[in-house]
Amino acid sequence: MTERLDAEIWIEAGRELLPEMIALRRAIHAEPELGLRTPATTAKAKEALAGLPLEFFDGPSTTGFVARLSGPANGRTVLLRGDMDALPLSEDTGLPFASRNEGKMHACGHDSHVAMLAGAAKALCANRDRLAGSVLFMFQPGEEGHHGARFMLEDGLINPLPDAAFALHVWPNLPSGVFASRAGPLLAAADRILITVTGKGGHASQPQFAVDPIPVACEIVAALQSFVTRRIAVEDPVVITIARISSGTTNNVIPEIAELEGTVRSLSESSRALAHEGVRRIAGNIAAAHGASASVTIVPGYPVTVCDERAVKLAHATAQRLFGEAAWKTLSAPRMGAEDFSYVLQKVPGAMLNLGATPEGGDHRTCCGLHSNRMVLDESVMARGAAMHCALAEAFLQDGFRESG
């Protein structure tokens, strides 16, 4: 009975705060910002938190900030994170609050993440006497490829480190209101590949007097796919995608260079290193076999997002305590997307959770997903998201990972 009463406190808080969260989400959605500098979004988030008993911490590298709520007891510390930046694409949803900033759109749900985190902060502040420790609310820009979490860590905004960390990410292709995650790798490391094949230019009618880089580039692409399936174990998978090939200027000139650009996705540091070595070896040796040369640059991206088993168990138990058995789904396999919350999880035990947000009347299997310029969300799930933030924070501060172990 006590557990149910505890759950009802956070469920009711989420419901009561939903109109405010929707208003905040829509205001952010209409004015999306990119990268590490999101001043308007930061201002909206801080305005939503005005008057609350929070300490604020800012850093020089981003417009992100951390707000600290200290409970009446000096116990554990738990971090809750919401990312703030948008994507560089033009919105085509027809929503009345659609983006007013051309070429920018909240197509990954970060607007809802900010709103849920602000809602949770309000609810937890109103129930501060229930907390056996402190809560850090991490409002982070620069998730979409800009390493915002790493910069905030380097700026010392999360120093000393908390004892646990959790993040929510909405997911249109998961039934509304369902939470999902898994222990171990959840999302992949993502690295950028740049390969330049240099041959010898010449007349297209006399290829024997040139070294054509284009067939060399094509052979490299095909060989990389064979490498993945024949040299990397299926239980520790890698995806190599060459997404851009650029070469030449006209129909009768063999160009001197061909450029390839793509991505390597991996689920462990060992498979990541194996993939990097393979890309360099294959590109260099194939080019040399044809009398050309290849330079390879690999730009490191986000590391693997690894969820602590104890944190996932706690989230699983908390979701079902709040909303029933059907509110949780254990994912059977990782996804090959990437996430910079991985930087936090490298230092702090915790978990990232997906929250289903299929739009009303939609089918989660076929609706527009994340990063689509037509993506829309079921805003009502933000009530569940805020409640989950609160219940996770309270449960961890009270018992740590003990009750989940």
Give catalytic residues, as residue numbers.
Answer: 302, 379
The residue assigned the tokens 């284009």 is 214
| Inter-residue contact 75 to 133 (CB < 8 Å) | yes
Nearest alpha carbon to residue 201 among 192, 193, 209: 209
Which amino acid is residue 37, in one-letter code?
Answer: R
Query: DSSP per residue over 95-129, as a string?
Result: -TT---STT-B--SSHHHHHHHHHHHHHHHHHTGG
Q: Got the DSSP string for 2-31?
A: HHHHHHHHHHHHHHHHHHHHHHHHHHHHHS
**How many C-beta atoms lie closer than 10 Å to residue 224's C-beta?**
23
Paired strand residues for 180: 329, 354
Q: Where are the beta strands (DSSP E) in 229-348?
A: 238-247, 253-254, 257-266, 293-299, 305-307, 328-330
Say how far apart CA 2 and CA 13 lie, in whole Å: 17
Q: Are 17 and 119 in contact (CB under 8 A)?
A: yes
